[in-house]
Chain A
């Protein structure tokens, strides 16, 4: 083994390790990757928030690219995200909501106060649909494609920035796919 290799090897190993740890520092441990990505969306059927006698289910997503946004009135970051959802709805993005472990009246009041970006909301009182979708922190936003497959999940509030750079390009791409 040439001499310089012997001296360089520890240096290279050190740099590699430092790089790995540095990368680790910039990762957010709160973001747990979902095993549901690229899998068919879990089946659900729940009463509507505003019309309790209607049912909201996967059938509503069929054939269209849909956002499924998990929110609640007790969730502070949801309030922060709300204006972004309003903008998306204005641009014609289909958004369904999962009102997660909330009070029906407070949720209805919220939509009256701040505007309603949702085509409809499923009312998940006991959070079971949330568990089936792997929800662990609100807000969460799932992107469901025309085939009813979950293609992406945003954990935490949507921001104008992340919508412009990640969400909208993805939606554009999914719109082009066959239904």
Chain B
């Protein structure tokens, strides 16, 4: 009984991995296309149908087609950047997981640093003000009065 269950488990697990691997096409990785380079590139490209998946992860029909396209472009000797340009020309920057640095994305790339700088400036100002107050909480006039008050209080207590 236990053997049969184990066997069933093994069968289930092996068929499962088979199904998962079926997503990627069996390309002929020739001299022009290094398999690692190909896998690295499709992991950086977004599938437009299922937007939170890369081309490498997605099983959508369009992802299949785009993987074929990427592979063929690489096979023709295009560089990674050329492949990216090809896709960006058709689908926009959205296909790139890593948005390029250009005027329309300045706020995206530099915004956090600007906010950080503003925060630091405010912090510095507050700290400066506080330390000044700690040094002399009272004006010269007030200190004079304070001395007087404290001075007159002393004899009273004695």
Contacts and interface: CB of A to CB of B under 8 A. Distances in A.
Q: Which of B51, B61, B91 has the most CB of A within 10 A?
A: B91
A131 B69 CA distance: 9
Nearest to B47: A136
Interface in B67-126: 69, 88-92, 94
Given A131-B65, A131-B69, A35 B49 contact: no
A137 interface: yes
Contacts of A30: 51
Greatest chain B CB density within 10 A among A36, A128, A131 is at A131
A126 B61 CA distance: 11
Contacts, number: 40
Nearest to B52: A29
Q: Identify whether the interface residues of A are mostly helix, strand, loop, or mixed.
A: loop
Interface size class of A (residues with CB under 8 A): 10 to 19
B48 interface: yes
A133 B62 CA distance: 13
A32 B48 contact: yes
A33 interface: yes
The 8 closest A-B pairs by CB, nearest first: A136-B48, A134-B90, A35-B92, A32-B94, A127-B65, A134-B91, A136-B62, A131-B69
Interface of A: 29-30, 32-36, 101, 126-128, 130-134, 136-137
Given A35-B92, A128-B69, A130-B65, 4 more contacts: A131-B65, A131-B69, A134-B91, A136-B62
Interface of B: 48-49, 51, 61-62, 65-66, 69, 88-92, 94
